[in-house]
Amino acid sequence: MPDSLRVVKGTLDVLVLKALSWTPMHGFEITSWLEAHSGGGLGVEDSALYQALYRMEKRGLVAAEWGVTEHNRRARYYRVTRAGRSYLTAETKRWVRYAELVIGILTVSARDA
Amino acid sequence: MIRPGVKRQFRLALRRRDVVDEDIEAEIALHLELRIRQLEATGLSPAQARLEARRRFGALPEARRALRTTAHRREDAMRIREWFDGWRQDLRYALRGLGRERAFTAFVVITLALGIGANAAMFGVVDRLLLRGPDHVRQPARVMRVFETAHRAPVGSYTTDYFGYVTYAHLKTAGHDFANVAAANGPYDSMLGVGATATPIRSAFATADFFPMLGVAAYRGRFFSATEDKPDDARRVVVLGYGLWRRTFAGSDSALGKTIRLDGSPYVVVGVAPRGFTGTQLSPVDAWTPMSLRHPTPDWTTTWHAQWLQVFVRLKPGVTREEASADATTAHRSTYRGTDSTIAAARMFVAPLGANADGTTTTEAAVSKWLVGVALVVLLIACANVTNLQLARVMRRRREVAVRLALGVGRARLLRLLLTEGLLLACGGAAVSVAVAVGIAALVRRVLLPQVQWTSSPVDGRVLAATLAAGALAGVVVGLIPAWRASRANLTDDLKAGAREGGGRHARVRTGLTIAQAALSTMLLVGAGLFVLSVHRVRNVDLGLQPDRVLVVGIPVPGSDSRPTLASFAAEKKREHVLYRHLLDKLRALPGVADASLDIGLPFQTAYGVNLRMPGRDSIPELPGGGPYISAVSDGYFATMGTRVLQGRAFTPDDREGTEPVAIVSQTMARTLWPGESALSHCLITGDDAADRCSRIVGVVADVHRYQISEPPAMQYYVPFGQESGIGGTYILVRPVGSPSAIAEPVRRLLAAAVPEAPYVRTQTLEDLVAPQYRSFDLGAAIFTLCGLLALIVAAVGLYSVMSYLVAQRRHEFGVRIALGARGTDMLRLVLGGGLTVAIAGVALGIAGALAAGGFLQPLLFETSAQDPRVYTIVGLTLVVIAALASLGPALRAGRVDPLDALRTE
């Protein structure tokens, strides 16, 4: 993926929470979900995803439990906790505002300036 | 940290480290496998797919390490969280349990509150009297009071802490071990203001270096300086006490520079002392004045014959008490210029500020140490009792506990639950105890130690800390024993057992605890009995006068403030006598006054000694009590004081200046000087009478105490008011028909009107002068009795609960016995006997303990043996009777057991 973007530091957590906000998933499902929804545009090492998950589990933003996949494999399923949900809401708001600001500045036309 | 409110939804058993590591490996393996499968589906070869999957995952070893670290931390946090969650459950469970048994909980909480509260209150008292030292004194342990011990041949050695100015000055120059030397005295009764609005206050005097020595800074303005305290040129300046400043000046800075009238003289206010500053002692001081203003004789800077100062030193760093004492002795001996060989050879020593006038620990300090012990014993009894009740609860819950253990609840968990219950009860007790402590402390402060300046509230930070410590101790004690018993429970037995079986060993522990309670209660009550007996005896000491019937009136005669010269002295005195006789006549005519008299040399206030000779005798023997002491009294004195005239007559209005010199002697004086014969018609030459006129003895009166409730007998004699020489300071004594305090106001009004130029009239009852000496006995009696009764109630309830429990346990057995033909009264006797056995064992132990500890209490008792058999007998009998009453209820229940009912429950 030569044209993939580096993930801005700190955004991975929010992206993972967003992925999990639909349904509990195991690690590979999250990776696939992110790749599918970014069109493969996020250059994230898989290990970074797990580190994000573990970090958030420690902070209580996600909870994990062992479950079984549809192919009958033991897998660790992650689920957003209530704290994780409010964190996601807050971070999302922050990101959108930030992005609007940046876009607003970067797209100023010559006439306005 | 896990955020509050976030909980593990699925309570999995906590994972060990290796399990956590295995999980991580499994998770990574699954991820790689799924990735490889995904890549293979896009057409990559298995080898290519594996390579690409590894590449996408990133550096495996680093990832593994990072994940492990995070996971382990997470598990640790979870473990703590889990523990607290569990503990919260325990707490809820314990709260529910205690809530169900309200009577039990209330009783336990109140019992513990009394025990803990008594400790907190006593700690507050001891903290003030013993630990903290006077407020605002920097390093109070380094500040010492100076004492002198001299040995006088027939009398033995005596110790004093009163010195002349010379001793202070010489210690300052010749001492090497002292960082500072200062002198002070007081507080004394003083009058603030003049006329009808004059109010009594307490004033003290000190050298200017007193304040820097203590390390205290003025709250407003400044303390007076050495230039204001110059012996030859002292200024009338005053530093107000914080309380007086707030009362009279509403805490305004405008007080500085104002002039106030103190004992009739004007003083300029230069500063305000900080709140609670009392110098080197503990009672409140309203005003501080320079030492140089309050001198007793004209030659006060050089005389060795007058002692009116207490001397204080701050030891240099590293100097010990012994070194400082030796240094003071050397300094004293090398500088003494007086003529008294016993004083020249006297030994000086320094002792802490809390020491008595003779350098020993004060009685109040000694008593308060005992009170802490007593309070601790009450706490122990409370703990024993609560433990006892808790054990009964544990026994009732034995099945439940066994079921829990069988279901796999860890024993550690069970222990935690019971400890939680114990701590919960102790917390409740500690919370309620604050109220108890405030109550007890307020009582002790107001009633028993009113002379102490209390700056902190009854419950301050230190007292709360002590309360918490006592509470934690109680909680652990109360929780631990039942927890230990329960955790040793035998599962199968308890599961199989019905409600009645087992518990033999429990009963032994509980009986032991009850015996201990009874023993401790006995000891406390014996202590209470001994103190009550002391109070009774001290109150009934024949002082030779009736302090509760006499009002003492002081009125400064105008003009007496100026320094008398020898020439003006006689005329002045004559004028005074005329004035006082005039006032006496007016007072006697006042309605409600039974009798009145004039007096120089007041018992419990001032005692004078003058040269005394007897015709035909070289010397007068010295008695251990000192003396002979002289008083000059008007007619009516003995009737006013309530002193019995044993022989001859009292003074009449005709015994006065210019008439035949006469005297009246005390019984001890008569017996000492003229053993075996009548003292009447012998005579005494008093004072420095050049004419050697001999005063004929016309009467013998009962001995009167001079200073102390307990003091060795001394010789005393009386001369008519007007015939004295060399002594002065007249008091008017009034014996009212009714109460002395009720007559005070009319007396003040009458005298203020009669002598309008007098700045004030001061009245106090003679009782006020004596009362402080009763306080340590009152303190001991009150607290011992209070604690003893508390202990008795608690122990009685303890015994009742044990007996009730035993009866419930043995219901089946009693049923069988009755079924087999035993009568109900037999059962009653059996149970009652059991209760009495416990009580008697406890009483016996307690008496043994009291006898052993009594020796330490002996010095605090007043003419009472610590082994007084009456006290022991009464206490023992009381306890046995109470025990019988406590056992009676359970015993009656045992007698009424219905055999059918009891047997059917099996």
Q: In terms of domains, do B51 and B144 share one?
A: no
Cα–Cα dist B367/B373, whole Å? 10
Helix (H, G, I), strand (E, B) or coil at B346: coil
Q: In terms of domains, do B144 and B95 share one?
A: no
Give me the domain span that covers residue B167.
140-352
CA nearest B880: which of B840, B832, B831, B847?
Answer: B840
Q: What is the pLDDT at residue B358? A: 63
| Domain final residue pick, B321, B352, B383 | B352
Q: In terms of domains, do B91 and B150 share one?
A: no
Tokens 């522990």 identify what position? Answer: B509
pLDDT of B709 over the 60 cut: yes
Tokens 């044209």 identify what position? Answer: A3
| Domain final residue pick, B52, B69, B100 | B100
Q: What is the pLDDT at residue B10? A: 41
Tokens of B300: 């006060």
In a domain, B123, yes or no: no
pLDDT band, residue B107 (cuts 50/70/90) = confident
Pick the residue with more confidence: B328 or B801?
B328
Percent of chain B with pLDDT over 70: 90
- Cβ-nearest to A50 among B26, B38, B63: B63
Q: What is the pLDDT at residue B622? A: 76
Q: In terms of domains, do B162 and B59 share one?
A: no
Q: In terms of domains, do B76 and B203 share one?
A: no
Mean of the pLDDT values across residues B368-380? 81
Q: In terms of domains, do B159 and B89 share one?
A: no
What is the number of CB-based contacts under 8 A between chain A and chain B? 76
Q: In terms of domains, do B598 and B722 share one?
A: yes
In a domain, B773, yes or no: no
Tokens of B882: 């109470």
In a domain, B361, yes or no: no
Helix (H, G, I), strand (E, B) or coil at A55: helix
User: Residue B508: how many CB atoms within 10 A of its CB?
Assistant: 10
Cα–Cα dist B175/B162, whole Å? 18
Cα–Cα dist B576/B564, whole Å? 13
Residues in chain B within 8 Å Cβ distance of A83 = 3, 5-6
Q: What is the pLDDT at residue B793? A: 81
pLDDT of B435 over the 80 cut: yes
Q: What is the pLDDT at residue A25? A: 92
Q: In terms of domains, do B91 and B237 share one?
A: no
Q: In terms of domains, do B95 and B149 share one?
A: no
All domains of chain A, ordered by start, with CATH? 11-106 (1.10.10.10)
Percent of chain A with pLDDT over 90: 31
Q: What is the pLDDT at residue B604? A: 83
Helix (H, G, I), strand (E, B) or coil at A25: strand
Search chain B and give the residue with CA nearest A80: B6
Burial class (CB in 10 A: 0-12, 13-18, 19+), B254: exposed
In a domain, B428, yes or no: no
In a domain, B175, yes or no: yes
Judged by a CB distance cut-off of 8 A, whether residue B80 touches chain A is no
Judged by a CB distance cut-off of 8 A, whether residue A18 touches chain B is no
| Domain final residue pick, B328, B352, B376 | B352
**Out of A39-53, B27-41, B202-216, B270-284, least confident range:** A39-53
Mean of the pLDDT values across residues B492-519? 67
pLDDT digits (tens, 9 = 90+) for B829-877: 888 888 899 889 999 999 999 999 888 888 888 888 888 999 999 999 9
CA nearest B448: which of B778, B127, B785, B131?
Answer: B778
CA nearest B168: which of B308, B278, B293?
Answer: B308
In a domain, B188, yes or no: yes
Residues in chain A within 8 Å Cβ distance of B30 = 26-28, 73-75
Search chain A and give the residue with CA nearest B30: A75
Overall domain count for chain B = 3
Residues in chain B within 8 Å Cβ distance of A74 = 26, 30
Cα–Cα dist B192/B814, whole Å? 79
In a domain, B256, yes or no: yes
For B21, B33, B667, the CA distances from A19, given in Å and listed in that order, are 26, 21, 110
Mutation site, A6, A28, A86, interface B, largest B CB count within 10 A: A28
Q: In terms of domains, do B93 and B144 share one?
A: no
pLDDT band, residue B197 (cuts 50/70/90) = confident
CB < 8 Å from B in window 47-76 of A: 47-48, 50-51, 54-55, 57-60, 63, 65-66, 73-76
In a domain, B126, yes or no: no
Residues 6+ apart with CB under 8 A from B499: B399, B905
**Which pairing describes strands B156-160 and B593-600: parallel, antiparallel, or unpaired?**
unpaired
- pLDDT winner (highest mean) among A106-110, B153-157, B788-792, B881-885: B881-885
**Out of B9-18, B211-220, B719-728, B772-781, least confident range:** B9-18
pLDDT of B544 over the 60 cut: yes
The answer to whether A47 contacts B60, with C-beta atoms less than 8 Å apart, is yes
A36/chain B closest Cα distance in angstroms: 13
Tokens of B175: 């001492």
CB < 8 Å from A in window 48-77 of B: 56-60, 62-63, 66-67, 70-71, 73-74, 77
Q: What is the pLDDT at residue A9? A: 60
A85/chain B closest Cα distance in angstroms: 12
- Cβ-nearest to A28 among B9, B35, B73: B35
pLDDT band, residue B4 (cuts 50/70/90) = very low
Q: What is the pLDDT at residue A79? A: 92
Q: In terms of domains, do B88 and B184 share one?
A: no
pLDDT band, residue B764 (cuts 50/70/90) = confident
Search chain B and give the residue with CA nearest A44: B56
pLDDT of B496 over the 70 cut: no
Q: In terms of domains, do B217 and B337 share one?
A: yes
pLDDT digits (tens, 9 = 90+) for B209-249: 999 999 999 999 999 999 999 988 889 999 999 999 999 99
